[in-house]
Chains A and B, each alone.
Chain A
Amino acid sequence: SYDLTQPPSVSVSPGQTATITCSGDGLPKQYVHWYQQKPGQAPLLVIYKDTERPSGIPERFSGSSSGTTVTLTISGVQAEDEADYFCQSTDFGGTYPYVFGTGTKVTVL
């Protein structure tokens, strides 16, 4: 199995851009999905397959991929975007078929 590493926290002012990275040795071969989790709520899928956005997710959420790093970008951050964000990928040949990132707390200043 491989680990997915994220920065513990990101702080951003309203209207600015937040970028959250997810790094792992297995990533060039596997897609990454991103989830938003607010306190006391169920996680919400915001980006799937590195760059795709599920219906109903605002356009300000986008994803990109380069080598062993995948990035979630929130453009024009709003107060409601303050949450934990975690990435997830697959490793069917490893100990766990599904691997998760360490999580990033996004704080809107």
Chain B
Amino acid sequence: QVQLVQSGAEVKQPGASVKVSCKASGYAFTTYSMRWVRQAPGQRLEWMGWINTDNGNTKYSQKFQGRVTITRDTFASTVHVELSSLTSEDTAIYYCARDSSGLYGDSFDFWGQGTMVTVSS
């Protein structure tokens, strides 16, 4: 069965960077793009960017442009998101979610369990 397993919670100081991983299993990794979204406390979900896991092409939200990098390791079936210059406003749960690639419209058909990132001095 399809599974997306994310790395564990992180606590970072302001100005630092954080890298969150998402390991996929149960399907052909390069067949589906992967998206990253986050949810800050009390806020709605927010799209950060996505990566074509086949060719590595990426697209990022303008809000995070210059601070976010999404990469993939096809041998490990893993996608990473790295966010730099962290502030307290980056405290959130970060999710990877698979692009259903039209199978279910433009939906996110499988999600990781979420990774809590806390930015605090």
Contact = CB atoms under 8 A, between A and B. Distances in A.
A100 B104 contact: no
Nearest to A50: B105
Nearest to B43: A102
A42 B112 contact: yes
B44 A45 contact: no
Contacts of B62: 95
Interface in A28-72: 31, 33, 35, 40-45, 48-49, 52, 54
B46 A45 contact: no
Q: What range describes how many residues of B lie at the interface? A: 20 to 34
B101 to A, nearest CB: 12
B104 A103 contact: no
Interface of A: 31, 33, 35, 40-45, 48-49, 52, 54, 86, 88, 90, 95-103
A31 B108 CA distance: 13
Nearest to B97: A43
B112 A86 contact: no
A105 to B, nearest CB: 13
B103 to A, nearest CB: 9
A43 B62 CA distance: 25
A11 B103 CA distance: 32
Contact of B106 (A31, A41, A42): A31
A98 B95 contact: no
22 contacts: A31-B106, A33-B105, A33-B106, A40-B113, A41-B113, A42-B113, A43-B111, A44-B111, A45-B108, A45-B110, A48-B107, A49-B104, A49-B105, A52-B105, A95-B62, A95-B63, A96-B46, A96-B47, A97-B47, A100-B47, A102-B44, A103-B44
A70 to B, nearest CB: 13
Contacts of B35: 98
The 5 closest A-B pairs by CB, nearest first: A33-B107, A100-B45, A48-B104, A42-B111, A49-B105
